Amino acid sequence: DTEVTQTPKHLVMGMTNKKSLKCEQHMGHRAMYWYKQKAKKPPELMFVYSYEKLSINESVPSRFSPECPNSSLLNLHLHALQPEDSALYLCASSQGQGFSEAFFGQGTRLTVV
Amino acid sequence: QQQVKQSPQSLIVQKGGIPIINCAYENTAFDYFPWYQQFPGKGPALLIAIRPDVSEKKEGRFTISFNKSAKQFSLHIMDSQPGDSATYFCAASKNNQGGKLIFGQGTELSVKP
């Protein structure tokens, strides 16, 4: 089973709202990622968690706050977003740091109004 | 700076044809080269991947050819079908970068019946 599950599938939020995106995997993977994908563009890395510790932050604005409560779960907390933050947010996981075979979830389509 | 260049941007072939998508990279430290397939509204799905010690890898109808000296790799889809119509992304990563993937810009493939 190579499934990464993301919820919700769609989210519309106002610029003053606080919301969270959730990601779950049960493959025993120890590295988890958040990517952002704009329309007709490739995914761009935001954050990497390795063994539940944040290992890479690609200079993402503080209005995006990641959290890894345990080895199976990854959250992305959103606050005071801008319309240009509207995108497909993808979660991925891989076996561990340095093991590059990454599996993606279906994504959360976020619209900021 | 674009580290992985992908071409063509779009490609139309007839059913049964062999579309070829090319990628070139600059950083010789890259040591893992996956291809992802993405359907509209879905997350990228890992198709096939190769490491620099191998010049060719086949999985079903998908073949990666790798030219280390030219720093190029390509995806061939044999006997293409309308169901293969999707966006294809090449990517590259370094083993010590914790699975951080650098994606090409993507190729939108359309296979006509």
Mean per-residue pLDDT, A42-51: 94
On chain B, the residues whose CB falls within 8 A of the CB of A105 are: 43
On chain A, the residues whose CB falls within 8 A of the CB of B41 are: 107, 109
Pick B89's closest partner by Cβ from A42, A45, A99. A42
Partner A contacted by B42 (CB < 8 A): yes
Question: In the beta sheet, which residues pair with residue B49?
Answer: B34
The structure tokens 């190029």 sit at B72
DSSP state of B111: E
- In the predicted structure, residue A98 carries a pLDDT above the cut 80: no
On chain A, the residues whose CB falls within 8 A of the CB of B21 are: none
Q: What is the pLDDT of residue A96?
A: 76
Size of interface A-B (CB pairs under 8 A): 67
**Do B22 and B7 contact (CB within 8 A), yes or no?**
yes
DSSP strand E in chain B: where? 4-7, 10-14, 20-25, 33-38, 45-50, 56-59, 62-67, 72-77, 86-92, 102-103, 107-112
Partner A contacted by B103 (CB < 8 A): yes
On chain A, the residues whose CB falls within 8 A of the CB of B90 are: none
Lowest mean pLDDT among A90-99, B4-13, B48-57: A90-99
Render pLDDT for B56-100 as a digit per residue (tens, 0 to 9). Answer: 999 999 999 999 999 999 999 999 999 999 999 999 988 766 568
Can you tell me whether residue B9 is helix, strand or coil? coil
Partner B contacted by A27 (CB < 8 A): no
Q: Which of A77, A60, A81, A80 is nearest to A68 (CA)?
A: A77
Pick A100's closest partner by Cβ from B36, B95, B105. B95
Whole-number Å distance between alpha carbons of B35 and B39: 14
Which CATH number characterizes residue B26's domain?
2.60.40.10
The boundaries of the domain holding residue B51 are: 4-61+70-112
**Do B99 and A56 contact (CB within 8 A), yes or no?**
no
Render pLDDT for A52-72 as a digit per residue (tens, 0 to 9). Answer: 999 888 889 999 999 999 999
Total domain count for chain B? 1
